[in-house]
Amino acid sequence: MGTWPERVSLREVGPRDGLQNEAPVPTDAKVRLLDLLPGTGLRRIEAVSFVHPRAIPQMADAEEVWARARKHPDVRYSALVPNLKGAQRAIAAGFTELEMVVSASDTHNRKNVNRSTAESLDDIAGVVQHVHDAGGTLEVIVSTSFGCPYEGEVPTSRVLDVVRRAVADGADRIAFGDTTGVATPGRVAALVDGYLATHAGTPFLLHFHNTRGTALANILTAMEHGATEFDASVGGLGGCPYAPGASGNVATEEVVHMLEDMGVATGVDLEALLEVARYAQDVVGHELPSAVLKAGPRTVTVPA
Amino acid sequence: MGTWPERVSLREVGPRDGLQNEAPVPTDAKVRLLDLLPGTGLRRIEAVSFVHPRAIPQMADAEEVWARARKHPDVRYSALVPNLKGAQRAIAAGFTELEMVVSASDTHNRKNVNRSTAESLDDIAGVVQHVHDAGGTLEVIVSTSFGCPYEGEVPTSRVLDVVRRAVADGADRIAFGDTTGVATPGRVAALVDGYLATHAGTPFLLHFHNTRGTALANILTAMEHGATEFDASVGGLGGCPYAPGASGNVATEEVVHMLEDMGVATGVDLEALLEVARYAQDVVGHELPSAVLKAGPRTVTVPA
- What percent of chain A has a predicted confidence (pLDDT) above 90? 94
Cross-chain Cβ contact A149/B302 below 8 Å? yes
Q: Write phi, then psi, for A43 (nearest 5 degrees).
A: -120, 10
ipTM over 0.95: yes
∠ CA B187-B193-B196, rounded to 5°: 135
CA separation for the pair A21, A287 (Å, rounded): 15
Does residue A240 carry a catalytic annotation? yes
pLDDT at A97: 98
Task: Give tens-digit pLDDT for A8-33.
Answer: 999 999 999 999 999 999 999 999 99
> Chain A closest CA to B178's CA: distance in Å?
11
> Chain A closest CA to B120's CA: distance in Å?
19
Q: How confident is the model at residue B2 (pLDDT cuts 50, 70, 90)?
A: low
CA separation for the pair A140, B84 (Å, rounded): 64
Contact criterion met (CB below 8 Å) for A254 and A295: no
CA separation for the pair B136, B293 (Å, rounded): 36
Q: What is the dihedral of CA B85, B236, B172, B264, to 10 degrees?
A: 160
Residue A38 has pLDDT above 80, yes or no: yes
Burial of A91 (0-12, 13-18, 19+ CB in 10 A): buried
Q: Which residue of A has its CA nearest to B107?
A: A304
Of B1, B107, B291, the CB nearest to A304: B107
Helices B185-199/A252-261 angle, 10° precision: 40
Contacts of residue A214 in chain B, CB cutoff 8 Å? 216, 254, 257-258
Contacts of residue A186 in chain B, CB cutoff 8 Å? 4, 261-263
Q: Of A213, A217, A164, whose CA–CA distance to A186 is shortest?
A: A217
Q: What is the mean pLDDT of residues B170-186?
A: 97
> Chain A closest CA to B216's CA: distance in Å?
6
Q: How many helices (H) and strands (E) does chain B have?
A: 12, 8
Q: What is the mean pLDDT of residues A66-74?
A: 98
Q: How many CB atoms lie within 10 A of CB B141?
A: 23
Contacts of residue B295 in chain A, CB cutoff 8 Å? 181, 211-212, 240, 243, 246-247
pLDDT at A239: 84
Q: How many CB atoms lie within 10 A of CB A73?
A: 6
Cross-chain Cβ contact A297/B212 below 8 Å? yes
Say which range, A2-6, A250-254, B63-67, has the weakest mean pLDDT.
A2-6
Of B247, B262, B302, the CB nearest to A184: B262
Q: Write phi, then psi, for B178 (nearest 5 degrees).
A: -95, 75
Cross-chain Cβ contact B299/A152 below 8 Å? yes
Of A245, A261, A295, the CB nearest to B186: A261
pLDDT at A242: 80
The DSSP letter of residue B18 is I
Cross-chain Cβ contact B187/A261 below 8 Å? yes
> Chain B closest CA to A299's CA: distance in Å?
6
Residues 6+ apart with CB under 8 A from A75: A37, A38, A42, A43, A44, A45
Task: Give tens-digit pLDDT for B73-119.
Answer: 999 999 999 999 999 999 999 999 999 999 999 999 999 889 999 99
Q: What is the mean pLDDT of residues A194-199?
A: 96
Contact criterion met (CB below 8 Å) for B247 and B286: no
pLDDT at B184: 98
Report the DSSP beta bridge partners of residue B173: B139
Residue A227: helix, strand or coil by DSSP?
A: coil
- What percent of chain B has a predicted confidence (pLDDT) above 90? 94
Cross-chain Cβ contact B186/A302 below 8 Å? no
Q: How confident is the model at residue A243 (pLDDT cuts 50, 70, 90)?
A: confident
> Chain B closest CA to A53's CA: distance in Å?
24
Catalytically annotated residue among A47, A101, A104, A240: A240
pLDDT at A2: 66
Report the DSSP beta bridge partners of residue A112: none
pLDDT at A120: 96
- What percent of chain B has a predicted confidence (pLDDT) above 70? 99
Contacts of residue B111 in chain A, CB cutoff 8 Å? 304
Contact criterion met (CB below 8 Å) for A78 and A136: no
Contact criterion met (CB below 8 Å) for B134 and B93: no
Residue B142: helix, strand or coil by DSSP?
A: strand
Of A152, A184, A299, the CB nearest to B261: A184
Helices A185-199/B252-261 angle, 10° precision: 40
Cross-chain Cβ contact B302/A150 below 8 Å? yes
Q: Which residue of A has its CA nearest to B303?
A: A150
Q: Of A133, A109, A134, A127, whose CA–CA distance to A169 is shortest?
A: A127
Q: How confident is the model at residue B216 (pLDDT cuts 50, 70, 90)?
A: very high
Q: What is the mean pLDDT of residues A288-296?
A: 96
Report the DSSP beta bridge partners of residue A100: A81, A140
pTM reported for the whole predicted model: 0.98
pLDDT at A295: 95
Cross-chain Cβ contact B304/A261 below 8 Å? no
Handedness of CA A278, A284, A290, A295 (dihedral sign): positive
Please count the residue pairs, one from chain A and one from chain B, whose beta carbons lie less than 8 angstroms apart: 155
Q: What is the CA radius of gyration of chain A?
A: 18
Residue B1 has pLDDT above 80, yes or no: no
Burial of A156 (0-12, 13-18, 19+ CB in 10 A): middle
Residue A237 has pLDDT above 80, yes or no: yes
∠ CA B238-B242-B244, rounded to 5°: 70
What's the half-sphere exposure (Cβ side, CA atoms, 13 Å) at A215?
37
Of B2, B214, B302, the CB nearest to A216: B214
Cross-chain Cβ contact A258/B295 below 8 Å? no
pLDDT at A116: 96
Catalytically annotated residue among B160, B167, B215, B240: B240
pLDDT at A286: 95
| H-assigned helices in chain A | 19-20, 27-36, 62-68, 84-92, 106-113, 117-133, 156-168, 185-199, 215-224, 252-261, 270-284, 291-295
Task: Give tens-digit pLDDT for B114-163.
Answer: 999 999 999 999 999 999 999 999 999 999 999 999 999 999 999 999 99
Contact criterion met (CB below 8 Å) for A106 and A100: no
Q: Of B75, B11, B9, B21, whose CA–CA distance to B280 is shortest?
A: B21
> Chain B closest CA to A282's CA: distance in Å?
18
Contact criterion met (CB below 8 Å) for B19 and B58: yes
Of A185, A262, A291, the CB nearest to B262: A185
pLDDT at B246: 84
Q: How many CB atoms lie within 10 A of CB B164?
A: 12
Task: Give tens-digit pLDDT for A126-150.
Answer: 999 999 999 999 999 999 999 999 9
Q: Which residue of B has its CA nearest to A287?
A: B245
Q: How many CB atoms lie within 10 A of CB A245?
A: 10
| H-assigned helices in chain B | 19-20, 27-36, 62-68, 84-92, 106-113, 117-133, 156-168, 185-199, 215-224, 252-261, 270-284, 291-295
End-to-end CA, chain A: 41
Q: How confident is the model at residue B243 (pLDDT cuts 50, 70, 90)?
A: confident
The bridge status of strand B9-12 relative to strand A229-232 is unpaired
Residue B232 has pLDDT above 60, yes or no: yes
Average per-residue pLDDT for chain A? 96
- Tell which phi-psi region holds residue A174, choosing left (phi > 0), alpha (psi between -120 and 50) or beta: beta
Residue A1 has pLDDT above 70, yes or no: no
| A-interface mutation test, from B146, B178, B256, B261, most A Cβ less than 10 A away | B261
The DSSP letter of residue A267 is -
